[in-house]
Amino acid sequence: MTQASPADKTRFNNLALAALGVVYGDIGTSPLYALKEVFSSEHHPVPITPENVLGILSLVFWALMVVVSGKYVLFIMRADNKGEGGIIALMALALRNIREGSRGHQVIVMLGLFGAALFYGDGVVTPAISVLSAVEGLEVITPAFKPYIIPLALVVLVFLFIIQSHGTASVGKLFGPVMLLWFGVLAVLGAINIIAEPNVMRALNPIWGVSFLIADPGLGFLSLGAVVLVLTGGEALYADMGHFGRKPIQVAWFALVLPALLINYFGQGALLLSKPESIENPFYLLAPGWAHYPLVGLATAATVIASQAVISGAFSITLQAMQLGYSPRLEVQHTSDSEIGQIYLPAINWMLLVSVIALVIGFGSSSRLAAAYGIAVTGTMLITNFLAFVVARWLWGWQPWRSALGVLPFVLIDLAFFSANSIKILDGGWFPIIFGLAIFILLITWKRGRALMHIKLGQDAIDLAPFIASLALGGTTRVPGTAVFLTGRPQGVPRSMLHSLKHFKVLHERMVIVTIRIFDVPYVPEVDRVEVVKLDEGFWQVTVHYGFKDEPDIPVALEMCAHYGLEFDMMDTSFFLGRETLIAGFGKEMSYWRVLIFSAMFRNASSLTAYLKIPSNRVVELGSQVVI
Q: What is the CATH number of domain 6-444?
A: 1.20.1740.10
Q: Is the pTM of this model over 0.85?
A: no
C-alpha–C-alpha distance, residues 150 and 128, integer Å: 10
Domain chopping of the chain, boundaries: 6-444, 460-627
Predicted local confidence at residue 172, as pLDDT: 62
Predicted local confidence at residue 171, as pLDDT: 58
**Contact 557/465 with Cβ under 8 angstroms?**
no
Predicted local confidence at residue 479, as pLDDT: 92
pLDDT profile of the chain (628 residues), mean per 10: 66 78 85 89 81 96 94 87 80 84 88 89 86 88 86 92 73 79 96 95 95 93 90 81 80 94 96 92 92 92 85 82 87 65 83 92 85 83 91 88 90 92 84 90 92 78 88 86 90 87 89 91 90 94 91 92 91 87 73 88 86 89 73
For helices 592-604 and 430-459, the axis angle rounded to 10 degrees is: 80
DSSP output for 440-509: HHHHHHHHHHHHHHHHHHHHT--BHHHHHHHHTT--SEEEEEEEEEE-S-TTB--HHHHHHHHHH-EEEE
Predicted local confidence at residue 1, as pLDDT: 43
Predicted local confidence at residue 566, as pLDDT: 92
- 70 burial type by CB count under 10 A (0-12 exposed, 13-18 middle, 19+ buried): middle
Predicted local confidence at residue 336, as pLDDT: 60
Predicted local confidence at residue 433, as pLDDT: 87
DSSP assigned state of 6: H
Predicted local confidence at residue 509, as pLDDT: 92
Predicted local confidence at residue 320, as pLDDT: 81
C-alpha–C-alpha distance, residues 115 and 138, integer Å: 36
Residue 557 carries which side chain, given as an amino acid letter?
Answer: A
